[in-house]
Amino acid sequence: MTEQITQRELEALSAYLDGQLSSKERTNLERLLEERADLRTALDGLSQTRAILRSQPPLRAPRNFILTPEQAGIRTKQPAVTPLFSAMRLASVLASVLFILVAAGDLLTGGRNPASYTQAYRSLPVEAPMEVQEAESQFFAETQADTLSSEPVEAPAAAEEFVQKSVQVTQAVSEDAAILEAPAAPSAYPPPAEVFPESPGLLGTTGLDSPTGEPTQLPTALPTILAQKMEGEQSAPVVTNLASDLRSTWYLWRLMEVILIFLALSSGLFAYLLSRSRSV
């Protein structure tokens, strides 16, 4: 009589074919197989089915299944170009180019700072008239003493000293003070020997006669000094106004550079954000 094969026995037979039974389970099953023909028949059937299935040749894919970027959901590198994006990008480029031009021009001109103009201003002979005035006072005092005395005084020495002081002052003017060009010292202050060949005094007015009785030629040094003093005093306000204008222009260029940098950065950042938001 054939016993009905249970599900558990069926599983044991199937696992027995695949070597998935423990040693104890395998021993028990082999004992049952010897005793029961239905189990042996069932085992044969399962074995043949398994063999048929495993005899099938492996299937080949009919085509390649590699993924495209679209299938993979990969975002494209090129963002969608919109008019706004193009405009922002162009604005960024223009602002950058303008900034480079302004900065280059600034570098080529030396990047003048208002302080440098102030320095040049202070180097001008504006202060020279002050020293000239002091030297002049000293000189007048000395020459007055000379005219009052009967004996000749050492006017040429005092005059020469005065001239030397003036020369030193004028030589202190830098080249940048070309705006107020200092006169050449030697020509403005002729040596006393030329002016006063024989006269002991400087105040050679018409009321004073030289020992020789001939009218003393008025010296040209003092009027020249006085004229320069007046010029310096008139030039002081001109220099101040010019430095102020230069300072304004310098700040204007700096402001323009800052604006261009801000424009370039902001428009570039906006274009970048646009491209990110619209990239697929």
Partner 1 sequence: MDEAGLIRTAQQGDLDSFNRLVLAYQDVVYAQAYRMMGEPASAQDATQEAFISAFRGLRSYRGGSFKAWLLRIVTNACYDELRRRQRRPTTPLEPLDSDNEEIESPYWLADDSEQPDERLERNELGDAIQHCLEGLPPEFRAVVILVDIQGMDYSEAADVIRKPIGTVKSRLARARARLRDCLQGVWELLPAQFRLVNEDRE
Chain residues that interact with partner 1, rule: CB under 8 A: 7, 10-11, 13-20, 44-56, 58-67, 69, 71-74
Nearer to partner 1 (CB atom), residue 63 or residue 151: 63
Smallest gap from residue 22 Cβ to partner 1 (A): 13
Q: Which residues of 26-53 are buried (b: 16+ CB within 10 A; e: fewer)?
A: eeebeeeeeeeeebeebbeeeeeeeeee
- Is residue 102 within 8 A of residue 263, CB to CB? The reply is no
C-alpha span between 245 and 147 (Å, rounded) = 51
Query: Could you tell me the smallest distance in angstroms from the CB atom of residue 9 to partner 1?
Result: 9
User: Please, what is the minimum distance in Å from the beta carbon of residue 273 to partner 1?
Assistant: 23
Closest Cα to residue 3, out of 28, 26, 36? 36
Nearer to partner 1, 33 or 153 (CB): 33
Shortest Å, Cβ 264 to partner 1: 33
Comparing CB distances to partner 1, the nearer of 23 and 109 is: 23
Q: How near is the Cβ of 75 to partner 1 at its closest, in Å? A: 10
| 162 vs 155: CA distance, rounded Å | 10
Task: Give 10 or 93: the residue with its C-beta nearer to partner 1.
Answer: 10
Q: Which is nearer to partner 1, 31 or 50 (CB)?
A: 50
Q: Which two tokens stand for residue 114?
A: 């208002």
Task: Give the pair of three-digit tokens for residue 147.
Answer: 């005219």
Euclidean distance between CA atoms 178 and 117, whole angstroms:
12
